[in-house]
Amino acid sequence: MNERQNRREEMLAVAGELFVRQGYIGTSTRQIAEAVGCTKAALYYHFKQGKEELYQEVFKLHCPDFGPILSNCEGAATLSDLILCLATNMVKHQPERINRMRWVIAEFPNLDEGQREMLRERKKRHLDQVSDLLGRFIANRQEAEHVATLMLGAMVGYDQLFVQMESEPPDGKSREAYVQFFAECIAARYEG
């Protein structure tokens, strides 16, 4: 990778950190340039539209990526195993995912319609991928989509309520216990 590309990636990384920490509105191009250790002119050299272009590129990079979460789950032998695999991968990739998800949710009201549509499409693609995996065990596509939506909503909700707020569920059960319970409930309906 050449020096110009490295500098561009550094600018994206720094801008991403600042946007996550301070929000888009609260971050100036001057702050980004200072944090990178370059001039504003150098920033505009790499990003002709300045902060808006940086924001769009960072947003694309920070949209949650389900690739690592879906990896190695294709071989699950049962529906319960598949749900456990997806949940385990979600927890494994949680630190990087939570900050990205928090930032995307917080910035959503500030997005233009094109950016919102990009996020909606990405979410739909992720739900389709999970639905495809579930389809091995749930013959009805619409039901597979419902389970995928319920599963992702429950996992994101759990993260929001307990992980980000650094608290425990009232009954003190672990996340693994909740995932196991959820997997068993869904599997009981479809595995007989």
Q: Assign 172 a pLDDT band (cuts: 50, 70, 90).
A: confident
The residue that leads in pLDDT, 174 or 143, is 143
The string over 112-136, giving b where at least 16 C-beta atoms fall within 10 Å of a residue's C-beta and e elsewhere, is: eeebeebbeebbeebbeebbebbbe
Q: Average pLDDT of the chain?
A: 86
pLDDT of 114 higher than 90: no
Q: What's the structural domain count of the chain?
A: 2
Whole-structure pTM value:
0.76
Whether 65 and 124 have beta carbons less than 8 Å apart is answered as no
Instruction: Give the model confidence (pLDDT) of 120-158 as tens digits.
Output: 888 899 899 999 999 999 999 999 999 999 988 888 787
Is residue 147 within 8 A of residue 133, CB to CB? The reply is no
Domain final residue pick, 45, 61, 77: 61
| pLDDT at res. 192 | 66
Q: Please state, as a whole number, how many other Cβ atoms lie within 10 Å of the Cβ of residue 147.
A: 22
Summarize pLDDT for 8-29 with one digit per residue, the tens. 999 999 998 898 888 888 899 9
Residue range of the domain that includes 91 = 67-191
The amino acid occupying position 24 is: Y
Q: 9 and 27, same structural domain?
A: yes
Instruction: Give the model's pLDDT for residue 146.
Output: 96
| 48 and 75 share one domain | no
